[in-house]
Amino acid sequence: MEKMMDLLAQELSAAFEKAGYDSSYGRVTVSNRPDLCEYQCNGAMAGAKAYHKAPIVIAQDVVEKLSDSQVFSMAEAVKPGFINLKIKETFLSGYLQKMHTAQLLGAEKTQNPKTIIIDYGGPNVAKPLHVGHLRSAIIGESIKRMGRFLGHEMIGDVHLGDWGLQMGLIITELKHRQPELVYFDESYEGEYPKEAPFTIGELEEIYPAASAKSKGDESFREEALEATHLLQQGRPGYMALWNHIMRVSVTDLKKNYEKLNVTFDLWKKESDAQPYIPAMVEEMREKGYAYMDQGALVVDVKEETDTKEVPPCMILKSDGASLYTTTDLATIVEREKLFHPDEILYVVDKRQEMHFVQVFRCAKKTGLLPQETKLSFLGFGTMNGKDGKPFKTREGGVMRLEHLIEDINEEMFHKIVENRSVKDKDARQTAQIVGLSAIKYGDLSNQATKDYIFDIDRFTSFEGNTGPYILYTIVRIKSILNRYEQENKDTENGEILEAANESEKVLMLALTGFPAVVEGAFEEKAPHKVCSYIYELANAFNRFYHETKILSEEDERQKASWIQVLLLTRKVLETSIDLLGFSAPERM
């Protein structure tokens, strides 16, 4: 189904051509003066120089050709050369009728589906998720959902950090605490226990304790480095411990991501890339890309057009150890081998931009994947507290993600109980649904690349540009539809009639924007555009609701038409919030 703006542009382009002008001037935009018109065309201004005519003359010529238009009810030329437009009500209602039954509410399935891998996790195992992991998960999940909606094969990868020094620190600390465990007996040849010698709570205490100890005790740090090396060499006891750490950690990570309604198709780890490193490094050497510099193996990635210094990409340290750069490059090799993606998108803190500039250039320069494969970096800003500094606990520490979720849910529970709109037994579950909307919408309504203030009071409000406000609007629509059905009315019957009043037309016009918004938001990797759209749509609906007595309307045909508009509005809002990664309750 063609987008509304395209249909309007076709009508204007045809009018320009009939009037003797180039059809390319028929571009249409939403009016910035809604008090005067709904759409406008500035093509006459652009064409004045080419045709040596006053813009108003060109505009008048074009408007004359629109006199019998089936699309516009008004087309007028306004000095110095604007064309002001209003859409015909019959055309608008017909478009919404088609949109109502269209598979994707008028959005188009892509003609060229791509395989896109999104790297949007990045947590380290043995450590709890904290607020720093929030943005990657929320933004990445939304982009994945939009891509799938439009027909692309989207593959989400959590990309766990599981192979670095933190593993050696945990193993060494555990060895100091429980040296009698069989994992530390080099002569042991039996089967290792199936149960881990620690819980997730103990594991989350062991790592920070070991990390702190390593900073003040050099011998402990050396021991941890050796344990890391032995693990990476495959010592059986350490591998068994590593497997325990992975099972316990991943189970806990999945539980916490589930609370965010975030899922991954792949639970790949840094260690999965290790087998690809030796051959990758050897090939870089053989082809002359990699060379030794102060003992380290590096690849030059600077370009003549660089306006700032781009350091060489370090492949191996002077002691032969690999780095994040090495692992990320080897992961690209693995992804190319397993999936042949058209694009790999990294949703990562924007402060890592230089790292990914080096990785991307190195991957392309050394031929790790085809030149046409796109490598994309979506760097997100910082989530800050009201003081403008990175969000912390009251004690000044990094807040665990599950504690943030609990705080939001508790705030929503109190507000829902105060409203007395939901029975006590349902209030907790409703609070979780609405709380998730507060967190996700609060984040996604901001442009991803910008820092933003995480304000619990504002984000949990039922008024203003918030997730709960959007959900409240959906619940209001559901309530009207339920009451209509209780009158033994069939919501399936009815056609969308011409707008009965101005507020209905504003709502109908807002509905037509959905296809373009979704396609544009995915193309630009910009979920905030979906948020802006549904906030505008919710406002349009609520204005219509307050100005129109829907259920008390005596004209049954008119009432049935309004019900169809409500059904479409609900469908658009619910589809949109699903793309953002949350849902609406039945009541709130």
Provide the token pair at 274: 């290790």
Distance separating alpha carbons of residues 129 and 119, to the nearest angstrom: 16
Distance separating alpha carbons of residues 63 and 77, to the nearest angstrom: 7
235 and 274 part of one domain: no
The answer as to whether 450 is a domain residue is: no
Residue in 257, 231, 307, 295 with CA at minimum distance from that of residue 122: 257
**pLDDT at residue 396 greater than cutoff 90:** no
DSSP-derived pairing of the beta strands 115-119 and 82-87: unpaired
250 and 305 part of one domain: no
Distance separating alpha carbons of residues 352 and 357, to the nearest angstrom: 9
In three-state secondary structure terms, 76 is strand
Q: Which residue has the tokens 């201004």?
A: 45
The answer as to whether 285 is a domain residue is: yes
**pLDDT at residue 477 greater than cutoff 90:** yes
Q: Note the pLDDT of residue 340.
A: 98
Residue in 486, 440, 447 with CA at minimum distance from that of residue 584: 440
Provide the number of structural domains found in the chain. 3
185 and 151 part of one domain: no
Residue in 111, 70, 74 with CA at minimum distance from that of residue 94: 70
Weakest mean pLDDT among 91-105, 379-393, 465-479, 530-544: 379-393
Q: Which of 221, 239, 259 is the last residue of a domain?
A: 259
**pLDDT at residue 320 greater than cutoff 90:** no
89 near 498, Cβ under 8 Å? yes
The answer as to whether 197 is a domain residue is: yes
76 and 40 part of one domain: yes
283 and 369 part of one domain: yes
Amino acid at site 118: I
Provide the token pair at 97: 């009728």
Helix (H) / strand (E) containing 157: strand 153-157
> Percent of the chain, pLDDT > 90?
91
42 and 12 part of one domain: yes
- The residue-averaged pLDDT of 180-192 equals 96
**pLDDT at residue 422 greater than cutoff 80:** no
The answer as to whether 504 is a domain residue is: no
**pLDDT at residue 492 greater than cutoff 90:** no
77 and 223 part of one domain: no
State the pLDDT confidence band at 441, using cuts at 50, 70 and 90.
very high
Q: Note the pLDDT of residue 572.
A: 98
363, exposed or middle or buried, with CB in 10 Å at 0-12, 13-18, 19+?
buried
Q: Quick one: DSSP state of residue 476?
A: H
b (16+ CB within 10 A) / e for 216-238: eeeebbebbbebbebbbeebebb
How many other C-beta atoms are found inside a 10 Å radius of the C-beta of residue 575? 17
Q: Which of 345, 373, 401 is the last residue of a domain?
A: 373
Distance separating alpha carbons of residues 475 and 588, to the nearest angstrom: 7
Q: Note the pLDDT of residue 341.
A: 98
**pLDDT at residue 394 greater than cutoff 80:** no
Quote the domain boundaries for residue 177. 165-259
511 near 564, Cβ under 8 Å? no
Distance separating alpha carbons of residues 3 and 516, to the nearest angstrom: 6
Q: Note the pLDDT of residue 185.
A: 96
Q: Which of 259, 281, 302 is the last residue of a domain?
A: 259
Q: Which residue has the tokens 């694009």?
A: 343
Q: Note the pLDDT of residue 296.
A: 96
The answer as to whether 103 is a domain residue is: no
Helix (H) / strand (E) containing 375: strand 374-380
For the whole model, what pTM was predicted? 0.95
Q: Note the pLDDT of residue 395.
A: 72
pLDDT tens for each residue of 268-285: 999 999 999 999 999 999
Q: Note the pLDDT of residue 292.
A: 96
42 and 182 part of one domain: no
Which CATH number does the domain housing residue 287 bear? 3.40.50.620
290 and 246 part of one domain: no
Which CATH number does the domain housing residue 60 bear? 3.30.1360.70
Question: If you write DSSP's letter for every residue of 313-343 in order, what string do you get?
Answer: EEEE-TTS-B-HHHHHHHHHHHHHHHH--SE
Question: If you write DSSP's letter for every residue of 495-539 in order, what string do you get?
Answer: ---S-SSHHHHHHHHHHTTHHHHHHHHHHTT-THHHHHHHHHHHH
- Of residues 390 and 3, more confidence is placed in 3
The answer as to whether 19 is a domain residue is: yes
The answer as to whether 301 is a domain residue is: yes
- The residue-averaged pLDDT of 462-487 equals 96
**pLDDT at residue 423 greater than cutoff 80:** no
Distance separating alpha carbons of residues 401 and 11, to the nearest angstrom: 52
Distance separating alpha carbons of residues 363 and 372, to the nearest angstrom: 12
280 and 133 part of one domain: yes
Distance, first Cα to last Cα, the chain:
35
The answer as to whether 528 is a domain residue is: no
- The residue-averaged pLDDT of 205-231 equals 95
170 and 298 part of one domain: no
303 and 363 part of one domain: yes
